[in-house]
Homo-oligomer: A and B are copies of this chain.
Amino acid sequence: MPKVRVGVLGATGIVGQRFVSLLVDHPWFELEALTASPRSAGKPYAEASKWYLSEPLPEDVAELTVLETDPREVEREADVDLVFSALPSDVAREVEPKFAEAGFAVASNASAYRMEEDVPLVIPEVNPDHLGLIDVQRDERGWDGFIVTNPNCSTIQMVLTLKPLMDEFGVEEVIVSTMQAVSGAGYAGVPSMAILDNIIPYIEGEEEKMETETLKILGELDGDRIEPADLTVSASCHRVPVLDGHTEAIFVSTTEEADPEEAAEVLAGFRGIPQERGLPTAPERPVIVREEEDRPQPRFDREAGDGMSVVVGRIRRDPVLDGLKYVCVGHNAVRGAAGASVLNAELLVSEGYL
């Protein structure tokens, strides 16, 4: 199978760099184009982007000339079929439809189109069938290409734990408090003066995203639309002095009595299409359950499954919602962002959309 040629829109930021890192040696994708704002366009990537990941930037990518984030320029300079979007939401809102219209498949991490009725919001282990919306989208919008999105970082890791519990026990109510890493706000998003020896109990738009995206993802595709899940989610989101890895304290009601050990088995045994088909970026286990009383911890668990697994621990009964409470950690920049889009793209290939 020849590799699918791909580009990254907004390649110079934190999520953009994670995309580059995941795509450099990807068995199915060939990284051919990197775009950024006009200020960076024309420069070699190594100069336009201050590389901050631990693993070194590969030389051939370092020398790629950054393009403007414009479908015509990308078409002119590179022959790619799929673009990953790490664009800020306001830019994404304007630019992603232009790429879709021009025939590109867009696998987007931006929030701009996640909640549009005809745009799939997908976690491959959870709702792969929602890709069915692509045809609806093309029909309605008259596009050659299309947009597929993945959820917000804090939503993804929560939903990966909710799905198996829901299937086994039924879940109708969720309360979640997050402790989110600073990388989630982008490289310069959280000044050190704001967060050293401190907690910031507010992240703009985050609670709304967790409360609405979850319902769409866990909803059912009914013809040409998604019937949202019958679920209530209430979130409180907080920023903490941690570099990478979001921690979430989750409380869920269960319709059927759920024993913590049983829940641990259900979570640990969870598998989806990515595992069944062995998609390249899929972790062996989407959810890893730790038995220690003081795990998961972001510094030790964020790299589990190369950043694609969510680690759960401290599963215990919750007397208020008459269900369970537990803690989960996921890598916000991998499973919660770039890795999510890449896995979506692998699903697209596997499903024949590319």
Q: Which residues of A contact B (CB under 8 A)?
A: 14, 52, 54, 173-175, 177, 179, 182-183, 187-202, 232-234, 236, 238, 240-243, 247, 249, 251, 293-300, 303, 313-314, 318-321, 325, 327
Tell me the complex Cα distance, A202–B294, Å: 5
Question: Assuming A198-B297, A297-B200, is B241 touching A241 (CB within 8 A)?
Answer: yes
Question: Nearest chain B CB to A327's CB is how many angstroms away?
Answer: 4
Tell me the complex Cα distance, A179–B325, Å: 16
* In contact, B325 and A234 (Cβ under 8 angstroms): yes
Most buried by B among A197, A200, A202, A232: A197
Tell me the complex Cα distance, A233–B251, Å: 12
* In contact, B200 and A236 (Cβ under 8 angstroms): no
Tell me the complex Cα distance, A69–B243, Å: 38
The 9 A-B pairs at the shortest CB distance, nearest first, are namely A177-B177, A236-B249, A198-B299, A202-B294, A177-B249, A234-B320, A201-B327, A192-B192, A182-B192
* In contact, B192 and A52 (Cβ under 8 angstroms): no
* Contact partners of A247 in chain B: CB under 8 A: 199, 201, 238
* In contact, A238 and B197 (Cβ under 8 angstroms): no
* Contact partners of A196 in chain B: CB under 8 A: 182, 192, 196-197, 241-243
Question: Assuming A54-B303, A173-B320, A202-B294, is B195 touching A327 (CB within 8 A)?
Answer: no
* Contact partners of A234 in chain B: CB under 8 A: 251, 318-321, 325
> A201-B295, A234-B251 are known contacts; what are 17 more A-B pairs with Cβ within 8 Å?
A175-B321, A177-B249, A182-B193, A192-B192, A192-B241, A196-B242, A196-B243, A197-B197, A197-B298, A198-B242, A198-B300, A199-B240, A199-B297, A234-B321, A234-B325, A236-B249, A238-B247
* Contact partners of A201 in chain B: CB under 8 A: 247, 249, 294-297, 313-314, 327
Question: Nearest chain B CB to A82's CB is how many angstroms away?
Answer: 28
A-B CB contact pairs (8 Å), 27 listed: A14-B193, A52-B193, A173-B320, A175-B175, A175-B251, A175-B320, A177-B177, A177-B236, A177-B249, A179-B199, A188-B188, A189-B191, A190-B193, A192-B196, A196-B196, A196-B242, A197-B242, A198-B298, A199-B247, A199-B298, A200-B294, A201-B295, A234-B251, A234-B320, A238-B247, A238-B249, A241-B242
Question: Assuming A193-B183, A251-B234, A314-B201, is B54 touching A300 (CB within 8 A)?
Answer: yes
* Contact partners of A243 in chain B: CB under 8 A: 193, 196-197
Tell me the complex Cα distance, A238–B242, Å: 13
* Contact partners of A300 in chain B: CB under 8 A: 52, 54, 198
Tell me the complex Cα distance, A193–B162, Å: 30
